[in-house]
């Protein structure tokens, strides 16, 4: 190895090589018309390591040399022809004499599935044309007037394999997905797409969450340049791209990371942390410097090489909590006696510092189901450094509330008013996610109580509440047209439902609501700031109703009223001096008044708004033609 390679190896073992994919895996140099392929892997416990492949033979390995004390092995293979997309595996002889045939952990392409052979992919022929998008991104993901991201973020969550399929059941390719999704997302008013994990995974039913190839976009939909095309087209269409990323765990498939060199290597050594009971997977050893390089480099790889705009980091709680999915006596407390994994805390700080120092305008979104404080506080202020977090408690409480007969909802009114008590403790995204529309939890529309017609009315009111409540937004595919069937990863969404008037009308309603969210600064400028919200009626439990203001940075405001009861309700709103409320948006046009008079009342002014059952509206306060500021 030369000096540069020696330094890369040193930094890898030290835990600070955040471009380790340029050092390990398969890299190429062309020297005097010869193709010099260098293969490197980390296997410190191996007795011997070799390469088997189409181009060198599968029966006997070409042996690699150990080149660092920490266990990096290397082979230079010189070819007269390009070996791009040729398959290979790593042949590993363990200390006890067993032979393992592994995919390359740093492979940039893979056959995946049960075979797991890595594919050489050292040269991209793709030309990017998304410079205008990056100028837009830099303007959006920043602080303005004391508010962080004072712009609308409305995410459409997609599972690439089941969004839409050909008549013969084949999923759309990356390129077909781009050509289909870009016009749809633009027409519907979504600002971003979030994709369930696209990294190579053996098992379709894992939805991509059991990853073996952390640097290899799945070959199910095309090659890495096809994914580049997808992202480039999204950007050209004004749509940001967020990838689901899984640094918590990996599966036990024999070609993957599982006991890679014959012993636990990528996973924790101790049984108290090593394996997930529920998932049957292995947890990454976050205390090992080489694992930190592997994971942080993976995150940066997609940001650098694929122009991704953010990562949604899966299963953060499983990494943070030592007692996650464990019973008493099955876990060992941290040195301070708590259940918090200090190695995970240090890892997240390292990850987010590395990512956001290089890309301050990307989104690092935590899916964290616990109550750990400071998830979205900066590292310099003692937090973990994410800049957004899914508000899973908000979603779960609201779904439980909506499933109840309205006569019982008064006792669960806290689902509507309690979330504001913690809404500004983190920078929240409000998710209607894939996790909530599978495994008997029912689709979003089917969570609603009541008759077929009532479900649609309640779903419209629920969507209005979500889209006007503080926090950025995420909606799983199919929710926007009220698919009744639970999501099935193995088949297409039921797009034929749009042939039915109720479903087509619901899709049109969601589009109009999205456009309201995009166009009204009051609904997105202060999503993370208490200045952006004030209650008018927080405690109308018996009426199953709430009313509140959303406010922008200039003091402009809108009033939102929502009635989740099964009967018409009159809500009396105390207001400053004004002579009418003018409707901007209604869940049921024609059923609510376009204009509401404001009358003098003891101590001020009052507007009595009559709201039909399962309905809501957004109003502006007016004096003549003039809008009132607070």
Residue range 189-248, pLDDT digits in tens: 999 999 999 999 999 999 999 999 999 999 999 999 999 999 999 999 999 999 999 999
pTM, entire model: 0.97
- Binned at pLDDT 50, 70 and 90, residue 630 comes out as low
Residue corresponding to tokens 């030592």: 322
Answer whether residue 359 is part of any domain.
no
Find the mean pLDDT for residues 558-584: 93
* pLDDT for 349: 98
Cα 623 to Cα 630: distance, rounded to the nearest angstrom:
13
Average pLDDT value for residue range 78-105 = 98
Residue 499 has pLDDT above 90, yes or no: yes
Query: For the segment 391-448, what is each residue's pLDDT rounded down to a tens digit?
Result: 999 999 999 999 999 999 999 999 999 999 999 999 999 999 999 999 889 999 999 9
* Residue 52 domain boundaries: 3-119
Quickly state the pLDDT bin for 617 (edges 50, 70, 90): very high
53-79 burial by CB neighbour count: b if 16+ within 10 A, else e?
beebeeeebbebeebbeebbbbbebee
- Residue 489 forms part of a structural domain: no
Q: Note the pLDDT of residue 593.
A: 79
Name the domain boundary from 73, 91, 119: 119
Does any domain span residue 178?
A: no
SS3 431: strand
Pairing of the two strands 363-366 and 388-390:
parallel
Mean pLDDT of 568-579: 90
Instruction: Quote the mean pLDDT of the chain.
Output: 96
Are 362 and 383 in contact by the 8 Å Cβ rule? The answer is no
Q: What is the dihedral of CA 246, 242, 140, 428, to 10 degrees?
A: -50
578 pLDDT exceeds 80? no
**Model confidence over 131-153: pLDDT tens digits?**
999 999 999 999 988 899 999 99
Q: Tell me, what CATH number does 539's domain have?
A: 2.60.40.1180
% of the chain beyond a pLDDT of 90: 93
The neighbour count for residue 408, using CB atoms within 10 Å, is 11
Dump pLDDT digits (tens) for 365-395.
Answer: 999 988 899 999 999 999 999 999 999 999 9
Q: Which of 88, 119, 150 is at the close of a domain?
A: 119
Within a domain: 492: no
| CA 367/CA 386 separation, integer angstroms | 10
The answer to whether residue 109 sits within a structural domain is yes
- On whether residue 319 sits in a domain, the answer given is no
Yes or no: say if 154 and 190 are a contact pair by the CB < 8 Å rule: yes
Is 252 contained in some domain? no
How far, in Å, CA of 582 to CA of 574, rounded? 16
Long-range contacts of 453-459 (CB under 8 A, 24+ apart): 453/502, 454/566, 454/614, 456/482, 456/502, 456/506, 457/587, 457/588, 457/613, 457/614, 457/615, 458/402, 458/564, 458/614, 459/506
38-63 residue pLDDT tens: 999 999 999 999 999 999 999 999 99
Q: How confident is the model at residue 5 (pLDDT cuts 50, 70, 90)?
A: confident
- Structural domain contains residue 554: yes
CB 294 within 8 A of CB 285: no
The CATH number linked to 41 is 2.60.40.10
Last-in-domain residue among 119, 140, 158: 119
Q: What is the pLDDT of residue 540?
A: 98
Residue 295, pLDDT > 80, answer yes
pLDDT at residue 627 is higher than 90: no
Per residue in 243-294, pLDDT tens? 999 999 999 999 999 999 999 999 999 999 999 999 999 999 999 999 999 9
- Known catalytic residues are 314, 367
Total of domains in the chain: 2
Phi, psi dihedrals of residue 534, rounded to the nearest 5°: -150, 145
């Amino acid at each position: 190895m030369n000096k540069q390679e020696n330094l890369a190896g040193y930094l890898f073992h030290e835990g600070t090589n955040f471009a380790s994919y340029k050092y390990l895996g398969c890299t190429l140099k062309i020297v005097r018309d010869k193709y010099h392929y260098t293969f490197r892997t980390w296997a410190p416990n191996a007795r011997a390591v070799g390469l088997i492949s189409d181009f060198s033979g599968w029966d006997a390995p070409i042996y690699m040399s150990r080149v660092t004390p920490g266990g990096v092995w290397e082979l230079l293979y010189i070819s007269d022809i390009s070996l791009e997309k040729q398959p290979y595996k790593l042949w590993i002889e363990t200390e006890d004499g067993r032979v393992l045939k592994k995919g390359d952990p740093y492979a940039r392409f893979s056959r995946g599935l049960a075979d797991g052979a890595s594919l050489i992919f050292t040269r991209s022929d793709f030309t990017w044309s998304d410079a205008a998008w990056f100028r837009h991104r830099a303007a959006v993901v920043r602080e303005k007037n004391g508010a962080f991201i004072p712009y609308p973020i409305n995410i459409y969550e997609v599972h690439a394999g089941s969004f839409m399929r050909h008549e013969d059941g084949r999923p759309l390719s990356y390129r077909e997905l781009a050509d289909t999704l870009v016009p749809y997302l633009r027409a519907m008013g979504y600002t971003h797409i979030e994709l369930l994990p696209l990294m190579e995974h053996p098992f379709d039913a894992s939805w991509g969450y059991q990853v073996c190839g952390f640097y290899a976009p799945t070959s199910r939909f095309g090659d890495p340049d096809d994914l580049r095309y997808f992202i480039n087209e999204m950007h050209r269409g004004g749509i940001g791209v967020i990838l689901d990323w899984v640094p918590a765990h990996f599966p036990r498939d024999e070609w993957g990371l599982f006991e890679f060199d014959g012993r636990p290597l990528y996973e924790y050594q101790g049984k108290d942390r090593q394996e997930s009971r529920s998932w049957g997977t292995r947890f990454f050893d976050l205390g090992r410097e080489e694992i930190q390089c592997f994971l942080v480099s993976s995150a940066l790889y997609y940001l650098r090489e694929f122009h991704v705009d953010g990562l949604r980091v899966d299963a953060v709680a499983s990494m943070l909590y030592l007692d996650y999915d464990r019973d008493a006596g099955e876990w060992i407390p941290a040195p301070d006696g708590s259940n918090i994994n200090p190695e995970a805390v240090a890892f997240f700080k390292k990850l987010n510092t590395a990512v956001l120092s290089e890309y301050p305008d990307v989104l690092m979104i935590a899916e964290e189901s616990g109550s750990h404080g400071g998830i979205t506080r900066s590292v310099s202020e003692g937090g973990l450094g994410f800049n957004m977090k899914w508000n899973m408690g908000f979603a779960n409480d609201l779904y439980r509330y909506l499933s109840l007969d309205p006569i019982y909802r008064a006792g669960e009114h806290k689902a509507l008013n309690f979330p504001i008590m913690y809404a500004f403790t983190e920078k929240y995204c409000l998710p209607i996610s894939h996790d909530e529309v599978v495994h008997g939890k029912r689709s979003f529309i089917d969570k609603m109580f009541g008759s077929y017609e009532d479900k649609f009315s309640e779903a419209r009111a629920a969507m209005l509440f979500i889209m006007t409540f503080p926090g950025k937004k995420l909606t799983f595919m199919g929710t926007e047209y009220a698919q009744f069937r639970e999501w099935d990863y193995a088949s297409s969404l039921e797009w034929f439902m749009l042939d039915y008037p109720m479903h087509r009308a619901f899709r049109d309603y969601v589009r109009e609501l999205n456009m309201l969210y995009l166009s009204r600064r009051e609904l997105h400028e202060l999503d993370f700031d208490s200045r952006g919200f004030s209650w008018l009626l927080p405690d109308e439990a018996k009426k199953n109703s709430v009313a509140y203001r959303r406010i922008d940075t200039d003091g402009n405001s809108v009033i939102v009223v929502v009635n989740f009861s099964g009967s018409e309700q009159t809500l009396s709103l105390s207001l400053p001096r004004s002579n009418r409320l003018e409707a901007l948006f209604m869940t049921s046009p024609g059923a609510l008044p376009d204009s509401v008079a404001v009358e003098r009342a003891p101590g001020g002014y009052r507007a009595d708004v009559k709201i039909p059952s399962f309905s809501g509206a957004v109003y502006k306060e007016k004096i003549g033609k003039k809008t009132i500021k607070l």
